Every structure is written in C-alpha cells, then in structure tokens.
Amino acid sequence: MIDLHTHTIFSDGELIPSELVRRAEVKGYTAIGLTDHVDFTNIEHVISCLSKAKYLEDVLDMKIFAGVELTHVPPEKIESLTTLARRLGADIVVVHGETPVEPVRPGTNLAAIKAGVDILAHPGFLTAEEAELARDNNVCLEITSRLGHNITNGHVVRLAKEAGARMIVDTDTHSPEDLIDTERAIQIAIGAGLTPEEARRIVTEHPIVRDS
C-alpha cells in the first residue's frame, strides 16, 4: 500500500507520526506521506517537525515522505507557497483541491496544476482541460477513500483516463480507522472506474515513490 496523503497532530490528525506510521505498517504500507495542512503561517514548523519522522526508516521497511497539503490557500498564492515548501525540504507537495463538500476557492485546481504540485487531492469536478494539463505537468490526480470527498471519484477517474493523467489512491487519513490496506485501496479504485490491473498498479507502484 502506498498512501501519500495523511495527517498527524501537527495539523488536524489524531496521531503523532510514530503511531501513525506504526498503524500504517500493520496495514501493510510500503510508503506513507505525512502531509499536514499548511499555509504561510505554519509551513516552516510543520516541515521541520515531519522531517524528523524519517528516523523511523532506520528500523522499518517503509519509505516515509515528509510533505505538506496546501489548504484553502488563495489560488494566486499557491505557486509561491509550493516553491517555498520545496525550498524548505518538503518531499511531497499536495494541494487541497476543489472538493464539493468544502468552500474551496474556485481556481484552486488550475493554480495547483500550473504550479506543478505532486498531488491534487480530491479535485472534485475537475475539468477535461485541467486533467490534460495535469498530464502535461506530471501532477497526480487523487482517488480518495475519504467520505464526502470521494463522491466525485468516478468523475475524476473518467477524465484522468481520457487525458492519460497519473492517479493515486490516498486515504486523507486523520484518524486511525481511516487507514486502509492494499485490497481495500484496490476496491476503491475499481469502484471509481479503473480495471483491476490499473487499480493494482497505481496502489502498489506509484511513480512518485519509484522516482525518489
């Protein structure tokens, strides 16, 4: 299982990184992204704290990515905050996309894709043009297991497949019960419209992990 979108106590998650990683290990994870919510007010603190969680790689057979999820950041500021996140050492930059269950500013999806972030989380009613730009900019489109955000998974998969854009299954974990195993992730991907072969590939062999 590869899951590159999770949260710890350094934003609105319930667990410290060590416990989150341990629970992910029990679920069979091979890679996890710790991607707490940030804007310009807390990004330095979050990246500094999450980067220390890499000490666990010394004793675990798991890749740990210290990242951020830019959340409710005005579209005009996403590119500069993405640049800052990478300069501060973030392994992964996720943007909180235009989910239909939160008042995310219109234009967030497009700004994130233009900025070349790693993952556009729960992108909601993504457009065909945005899916094509995501393909061109190597931005991964998220298929999410999180309730509410997941109501547009089928729409996202359809447009991503038509455009040839990359996809990933993530949990957006905030609580221990949000973590899932590989078979559940595959079921979620198949339910969203992928074939079993496509589903297994994006769950277990994600390019962000392979290229790192």
Quote the distance between the C-alpha of residue 149 and its chain's center.
13
For the segment 101-143, what is each residue's pLDDT rounded down to a tens digit?
A: 999 999 999 999 999 999 999 999 999 999 999 999 999 999 9
Mean of all residue pLDDT scores within the chain: 96
CB of 34 within 8 A of CB of 62?
Answer: no
Query: What pLDDT does 164 receive?
Result: 97
Residue spans per domain, the chain? 2-210
- The CA distance from 211 to 199, in Å, is 19
Q: Which residues of the chain have pLDDT under 70?
A: 207, 209-212
Amino acid 41 reads T
Residue pair 30/61 in contact (Cβ under 8 Å)? The answer is yes
The superfamily in CATH containing domain 2-210 is: Metal-dependent hydrolases (3.20.20.140)
Q: How far apart are CA 66 and CA 68, in angstroms?
A: 7
Find the farthest-apart pair of alpha carbons in the chain and give their distance in angstroms, rounded: 44
pTM of the predicted structure, to 2 decimals:
0.96
Q: How many CA atoms lie within 13 A of 194 on its CB side?
A: 27
> What is the pLDDT, as a whole number, of residue 182?
96
